[in-house]
C-alpha cells in the first residue's frame, strides 16, 4: 500500500467551507487508488471537523518549528506529500525535502491567494484592479511555493491561464482540478418554494462583504416582493453579522446550515453579489447540483460555466441585479430553464470522472520520472536550495529559542 501524507492548514470542515469539501474530495480520490492516508495539522480539531477515522485516515497534530516532525515523516516514509495551501509548504516543505527527498510534493492551492488579496485591496480602495497590483508580497511567496513543488493543483481555468499566459509557468508543474460535483435533482417544484437565500462561511472576508452588498440591495427587492424574505446562512457568524438581522425587513440571519440540501430545496433563488475573491465558488456549484437558480457577479461565476448558459443571471450592475432577482423569483418558465442550465454545467464541467483518470496518470508519470521532472523545473531547484539554507536555519533558531 502506498503512503500519502496531507499537511493541512486546518482539519477539514466540509459542512462549513468549500475548502473543507475540496480536501475530502482529494482524500476520496487517493483512497480509490489504495493510498494509506495520514493527515497532519498544527490546528486543533473542532466539533465541526470531519471524522477522518470514518474513512480509516490516520491523523495527528504536529508542531511548528519542531524537529519531532522530521522523525515522524521519516517513519511514515510517504510516496506523496500534499500541502494544503502555500503556507504549509513554506513551513514544512524544506523538512519534507530533507527527510524524504523522493516523495512527490503536491501543492493544493485552493485558490490563488495573491489574486484574492489583490482583488480585495482594489475593492476596499474603490479602484480598478491593475496588473501591477498582482505583484504583491503574497504573490512572491505563493509563486515560490508553486515552483518548489513537483505539481500544483489549480482550481479554476482563469487561474490556470493567468499562471501560464501571464506569468509563463511551465504547464508540466500545474494541473487543473476543480471542485467535483454531481447532479442531485430536486423534487421540489417552483410553486412549493419561497424566499431567497445566501450562504457562506463568515471567516472568509468575501462572504461577509457579500452580505453587506445584499443588505444594501435587499430593500429594493423587498419593495417589489413584499412577501419574500432573504435567509442568510453561514458558519462562524459573529456578532456583527447578527446585528444585520431584521425581521421587519425580512432580512433573516440564520447562522450555520445543518443541511445545505434541505435549505437549497426549499428556497426559490440564491443571491450572491460577490464583490471579490478567487477560485470557484462552492455555494454556486452546490446551487447547480441541487437545482437552485442564482443571481451572481462576474467574479462569482468566474471559470464555472465555460460556453454554457448560466443557471440564472450574472451582473455587476446593482439595478440589474435587483431586476434579475425579482424576475427569476416570479417567472416559472425562466426559473425552470435556469435550473436545467445548472444541471448541464455540473454534468459537463464538474463530474469527478472528467478529471480523475488524467490526475492519477499525471501522478504516476511524475513518480516514475521524478528526477528528470525536477531537472526540467530548474527554477524550482534553485528556490529549493535557497529555502533549505534560509528557512531551515530560521526554523532551527526558533526551535532553540522556544526551548530556552
Q: What was the pLDDT predicted at 33?
A: 96
pLDDT digits (tens, 9 = 90+) for 238-252: 999 999 999 999 999
Pair type for strands 269-272 and 196-199: parallel
Is 289 buried (19+), middle (13-18) or exposed (0-12) by CB count in 10 A? buried
Cα–Cα distance measured from residue 219 to residue 345, given in angstroms and rounded to the nearest whole number = 32
Is 80 buried (19+), middle (13-18) or exposed (0-12) by CB count in 10 A? buried
Cα–Cα distance measured from residue 215 to residue 217, given in angstroms and rounded to the nearest whole number = 6
Which three cell numbers mark 266? 426549499
Contact 133, 121 (CB under 8 A): yes
Closest CA to 10 of 281, 235, 252: 235
374 CB contacts (<8 Å, ≥6 apart)? 150, 380, 381
Is 27 buried (19+), middle (13-18) or exposed (0-12) by CB count in 10 A? buried
* Number of alpha helices (DSSP H) and beta strands (DSSP E) in the chain: 17, 13
Q: What was the pLDDT predicted at 396?
A: 77
Distance of CA 291 to the CA centre of its chain: 21
DSSP state of 167: S
Dihedral sign (CA 22, 28, 32, 33): positive
User: For cell 493544493, what's the residue?
Assistant: 108
Q: Give the mean model confidence (pLDDT) for residues 327-352.
A: 98
Cα–Cα distance measured from residue 352 to residue 356, given in angstroms and rounded to the nearest whole number = 6
DSSP H stretches of helix in 302-404: 318-330, 332-349, 356-368, 370-376, 378-403
Backbone angles phi, psi at 84, to 5 degrees: -85, 95
Closest CA to 327 of 308, 317, 315, 313: 313
Pair type for strands 230-233 and 294-296: unpaired
Q: Give the mean model confidence (pLDDT) for residues 180-193.
A: 97
Q: What was the pLDDT predicted at 389?
A: 65
pLDDT digits (tens, 9 = 90+) for 360-386: 999 999 999 999 999 999 888 888 876
Model confidence pTM above 0.85: yes
Contact 322, 312 (CB under 8 A): no
Checking if the pLDDT of 90 tops 80, the result is: yes
Q: What was the pLDDT predicted at 96?
A: 96
Q: What was the pLDDT predicted at 268?
A: 98
Mean model confidence pLDDT for the chain: 95
Contact 158, 301 (CB under 8 A): no
Please report which confidence band the pLDDT of residue 387 belongs to, taking 50, 70 and 90 as the band edges: low
Checking if the pLDDT of 148 tops 80, the result is: yes
Closest CA to 9 of 81, 83, 66: 83
pLDDT digits (tens, 9 = 90+) for 54-78: 999 999 999 999 999 999 999 999 9
Which three cell numbers mark 121? 485591496
Amino acid at each position: 500500500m502506498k503512503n500519502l501524507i496531507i499537511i493541512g492548514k486546518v482539519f477539514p470542515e466540509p459542512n462549513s467551507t468549500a475548502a473543507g469539501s475540496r480536501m475530502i474530495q482529494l482524500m476520496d480520490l487517493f483512497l480509490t487508488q489504495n493510498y494509506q492516508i495520514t493527515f497532519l495539522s498544527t490546528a486543533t480539531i473542532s466539533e465541526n471537523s470531519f471524522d477522518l477515522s470514518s474513512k480509516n485516515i490516520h491523523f495527528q497534530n504536529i508542531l511548528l518549528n519542531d524537529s519531532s516532525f522530521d522523525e515522524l515523516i521519516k517513519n511514515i516514509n510517504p510516496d506523496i506529500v500534499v500541502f494544503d495551501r502555500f503556507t504549509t509548504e513554506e513551513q514544512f516543505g524544506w523538512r519534507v525535502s530533507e527527510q524524504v527527498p523522493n516523495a512527490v510534493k503536491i501543492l493544493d492551492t485552493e485558490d490563488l491567494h495573491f489574486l484574492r488579496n489583490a482583488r480585495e485591496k482594489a475593492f476596499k480602495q474603490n479602484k480598478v484592479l491593475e496588473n501591477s497590483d498582482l505583484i504583491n508580497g503574497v504573490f512572491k511567496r505563493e509563486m515560490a511555493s508553486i515552483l518548489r513543488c513537483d505539481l500544483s493543483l489549480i482550481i479554476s481555468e482563469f487561474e490556470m491561464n493567468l499562471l501560464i499566459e501571464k506569468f509563463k509557468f511551465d504547464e508540466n508543474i500545474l494541473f487543473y482540478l476543480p471542485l467535483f460535483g454531481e447532479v442531485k435533482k430536486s423534487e421540489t417544484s417552483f410553486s412549493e418554494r419561497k424566499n431567497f437565500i445566501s450562504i457562506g462561511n463568515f471567516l472568509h472576508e468575501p462572504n461577509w462583504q457579500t452580505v453587506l452588498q445584499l443588505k444594501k440591495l435587499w430593500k429594493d427587492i423587498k419593495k417589489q416582493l413584499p412577501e419574500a424574505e432573504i435567509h442568510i446562512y453561514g458558519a462562524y457568524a459573529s456578532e456583527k453579522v447578527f446585528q444585520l438581522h431584521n425581521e421587519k425587513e425580512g432580512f433573516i440571519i440564520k447562522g450555520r446550515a445543518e443541511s445545505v440540501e434541505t435549505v437549497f430545496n426549499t428556497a426559490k433563488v440564491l443571491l450572491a453579489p460577490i464583490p471579490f475573491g478567487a477560485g470557484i465558488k462552492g455555494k454556486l456549484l452546490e446551487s447547480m447540483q441541487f437545482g437552485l437558480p442564482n443571481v451572481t457577479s462576474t467574479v462569482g461565476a468566474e471559470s464555472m460555466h465555460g460556453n454554457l448558459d448560466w443557471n440564472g443571471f450574472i451582473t455587476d450592475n446593482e439595478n440589474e441585479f435587483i431586476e434579475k432577482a425579482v424576475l427569476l423569483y416570479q417567472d416559472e418558465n425562466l426559473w425552470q430553464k435556469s435550473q436545467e442550465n445548472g444541471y448541464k454545467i455540473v454534468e459537463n464541467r464538474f463530474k469527478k470522472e472528467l478529471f480523475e483518470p488524467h490526475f492519477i496518470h499525471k501522478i504516476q508519470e511524475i513518480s516514475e520520472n521524478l528526477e528528470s521532472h525536477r531537472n526540467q523545473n530548474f527554477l524550482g531547484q534553485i528556490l529549493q536550495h535557497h529555502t533549505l539554507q534560509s528557512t531551515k536555519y530560521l526554523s532551527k533558531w526558533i526551535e532553540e529559542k522556544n526551548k530556552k
